[in-house]
Amino acid sequence: MPDFTGKVAIVTGATAGIGEAVAGELFLRGAAVVIAGRDEGKAHAVALGLDPTGERAVPCRCDVRDWRSVQGLVETTLARFGALQLAVNNAGITGPAGLALPDCPVEAWEDVIATDLSGVFYGLKFEIPAILRSGGGAIVNMSSANGMVGLPGMAAYTAAKHGIVGLTRSAALEYADRGLRINAVGPGYVDTPRMRETPPELLSRFAAAHPMGRLASREEVARLISFLLSDDSGFSTGGVYPVDGGYTAQ
């Protein structure tokens, strides 16, 4: 089991869904966790739910579309805990679904790229120097099974998630010999609270898209991320790890 005692972690988009589960997993394994989210109230609630003392789980408002906000997140983390060893660049949106590419509004394209791709770039830009100054560590970026294969009707999302793979590989190579490992994960459809609003017939189609015939649980994704952040994966960098029930093996 990973042990993150004494380590400091940032999780973006930690106020809901997968990010909330990742924050919980890292906290459970001993890390101090900064719960970053656009909604300050929700970030407070998640942090308080994990740690009523406020010693090891703290909220921080951050909109990953704004580089100054991401810079502020890293500065706040360093000011509060004095170091940063772990980061999970998870925040993301799906954007338009089921729209042919010419019908995708430019504003929607820009919002998905700003959130899902530029948001990860900003994360890496400010986390990397902080982690190096803290003596090294590990970063995991949230891609998707659709960062490895295309999906009709979701051009912006698949483009951003493929872009994260390129960012991850390039960044990993830059820091491979400097004590900083950088990997990405590629979940298939995940059973999050938001996913439960999906009509049942669509959920069944999502489940059937995976050879294992079901969605991933948030915890299955969180545990893979935890492994990739831990010394147990000490020789892994620049990798993109599916957690997709065989979706991309087809």
Ligand X SMILES: NC(=O)c1ccc[n+]([C@@H]2O[C@H](COP(=O)([O-])OP(=O)(O)OC[C@H]3O[C@@H](n4cnc5c(N)ncnc54)[C@H](O)[C@@H]3O)[C@@H](O)[C@H]2O)c1
Between 2 and 245, CB nearer to ligand X: 245
Between 2 and 186, CB nearer to ligand X: 186
Q: Which two tokens stand for residue 113?
A: 């790229």
Catalytically annotated residue among 157, 189, 241, 247: 157
Q: Shortest approach of ligand X to residue 115 CB, angstroms?
A: 5
Amino acid at 220: E
Does the annotation mark 157 as catalytic? yes
Q: Which two tokens stand for residue 36?
A: 């970053």
Phi, psi of 111 (to 5 degrees): -70, -40
Distance CA 243, CA 190 (A): 9
CB atoms within 10 A of CB 240: 20
Q: Shortest approach of ligand X to residue 100 CB, angstroms?
A: 21
CB 127 within 8 A of CB 139: yes
Q: Shortest approach of ligand X to residue 91 CB, angstroms?
A: 4
CB 25 within 8 A of CB 226: yes
Instruction: Give the dihedral sign, CA 160/162/166/171.
Output: positive
Between 31 and 148, CB nearer to ligand X: 148
Q: Shortest approach of ligand X to residue 137 CB, angstroms?
A: 21
Residues that bind ligand X (CB under 6 A): 12-13, 15-19, 37-38, 62-65, 90-93, 115, 142, 144, 187, 189-190, 192, 194-195
Q: Shortest approach of ligand X to residue 82 CB, angstroms?
A: 24
Burial of 2 (0-12, 13-18, 19+ CB in 10 A): buried
Burial of 7 (0-12, 13-18, 19+ CB in 10 A): buried
Instruction: Give the dihedral sign, CA 168/171/176/182.
Output: negative
Between 48 and 132, CB nearer to ligand X: 48
Between 138 and 191, CB nearer to ligand X: 191
Q: Which residues are catalytic?
A: 157
